[in-house]
Amino acid sequence: MQVLFCCFCQDSEDVQSRPDSMNELCWSDRHSQPLTLSHSAPNMITPEESRLLPEFKSLLQDLNFDWYDGHDLSLLKWLRARDLDMDKAEKMLRKSSDWRKKNQIESILSYEFPTDMTKEFPFQISGIDSEGCFIVVVPFGQWDFRKFSESGKKHLVLTYVDYLLELLVTVLKKRSCPASVILQAVIILDYDGFSLRQITSKQNVEMLIQILSQIESNRPEMLKRAYIINAPRVFEMAYKLFKPLISARTLSKAYIYGPNASEWKSGLLSTIPHGSLPSYYGGSNSSCSNYKFEDKANVGNITHKQFPEDEMTSAVVEAREIYQVTVEAYQSDLIRWSFRTEKNDIGFQLLNPCRENLIDCPRVDSHKFKQNGTIQCPSSGTYTLCFDNSYSRFASKNLWYAVSVSDLDG
């Protein structure tokens, strides 16, 4: 996942020494800890920053920012990115403003990508943390940058990265107001499936470096925290390759885990509410779907129903069996569900009327958190909720579940 990690790792110029090895980043199967550096929290303004802001703002009056980009906290990120050097910060911001105009970033969300682009580079916005920052989940090990860089589609990838970051800024802006400005996101980078071939192509590495350079110059202080999970041993090679481009300030926000799922699940849940974390990653959001271009910036608008315990139905799912519940629904109806188990996990799938998987969670921690989910039906017919205990050789599972069907206004 090294590249999108870098894409969000665009902070200040490196004024502190960086670690000489991955061990100093605590890269292991143990719960990693970030480097400890002293820098301000995003919504806390120091006396020195408060002193500099009025003069900095006066230098930028000709840029005609909207309320969000012209907010004190938004402007402060440029100062912080250049260690409170006002001249460097102004130069950086103006250069970025020119870059936005040249590349038509303001209208990039209307760009027409090939329909398979989100299949090639999927991601999810799974919820928000306690401070309103979005949780972005990227299965980075599945992202095949090399396939595109070596087939003459470098510009398409660069534009797609710009699209993703502008989309994120747009949804952060939609959730902000002058009294509460949200500027950052938490990103989970899943390296499962990442291979050495991504960093053994000169063309690909050059493209990734260009992406990083572009992001560093134009998206300062966007990262609140990065969780890198399922990092393989080859990650150390990727880290050494891109190390000179990553600031110590950014590294202080990174938590790096190997393939031990119990360790990284515990790490994710230490700061992310379980309702904002997909079930696959140890949370309770069992219907978190991949982003689609037609969604534009309309993400996170459907909320899950909270079923009271007296509406839950009990069942026993025997070992090697799948317990199925069917419901009838019309196109655009909402199917909402909730379930939990006692002591052990269980698999969960939702099938459409053609018996195709709409949701597939091989094993979820339903014994730790009540699992919730919602889908808007793509067609009319019979939908099937499957509670899968077929992987268990001996243990039956005590299940409690509830499901409802309603129209969009219900």
Report how far residue 183's alpha carbon sits from residue 303's, in angstroms, rounded to the nearest whole number: 23
What pLDDT score was predicted for residue 17? 30
Express as a percent the part of the chain with pLDDT over 70: 88
What pLDDT score was predicted for residue 410? 66
Pairing of strands 223-229, 185-190: parallel
Q: Indicate left, alpha or beta for 288 from its phi (over 0: left) and psi (-120 to 50: alpha).
A: beta
Residue of 230, 113, 131 lying closest to 172 (CA atoms): 131
Model confidence at 1: pLDDT above 60: no
Report how far residue 5's alpha carbon sits from residue 250's, in angstroms, rounded to the nearest whole number: 10
What pLDDT score was predicted for residue 121? 94
Q: 318-332 pLDDT, tens per residue?
A: 999 999 999 999 999
Q: 184-237 pLDDT, tens per residue?
A: 999 999 999 998 888 888 899 889 888 888 888 899 989 999 999 999 988 888
- What is the mean predicted confidence (pLDDT) over 78-102? 95
What pLDDT score was predicted for residue 42? 62
Confidence of residue 344 (pLDDT cuts 50, 70, 90): very high
CA dihedral sign of residues 306, 312, 316, 322: negative
Mean residue pLDDT across the chain: 86
Confidence of residue 41 (pLDDT cuts 50, 70, 90): low
Confidence of residue 39 (pLDDT cuts 50, 70, 90): very low
- What is the mean predicted confidence (pLDDT) over 23-33? 39
Predicted structure pTM score: 0.85
What pLDDT score was predicted for residue 48? 96
Model confidence at 14: pLDDT above 60: no
CB contact set of 61 (below 8 Å; sequence gap of 6+): none
Q: 119-138 pLDDT, tens per residue?
A: 899 999 998 888 889 999 99
Model confidence at 10: pLDDT above 80: no
Q: Looking at per-residue confidence, does 337 or 19 come out higher?
A: 337
Using the structure block, give the residue that is written with the tokens 């291979």: 195
Confidence of residue 354 (pLDDT cuts 50, 70, 90): very high
C-alpha to C-alpha distances, 383 to 108, 189, 355, 356, nearest whole angstrom: 37, 32, 8, 10
Task: Walk me through the domains of the chain, giving residue ranges and CATH numbers.
Answer: 2-292 (3.40.525.10), 309-406 (2.60.120.680)
What pLDDT score was predicted for residue 26? 42
Model confidence at 4: pLDDT above 60: no
- What is the mean predicted confidence (pLDDT) over 366-388? 97
Using the structure block, give the residue that is written with the tokens 């090679």: 237
Q: 266-282 pLDDT, tens per residue?
A: 999 999 999 999 999 99
What pLDDT score was predicted for residue 270? 93
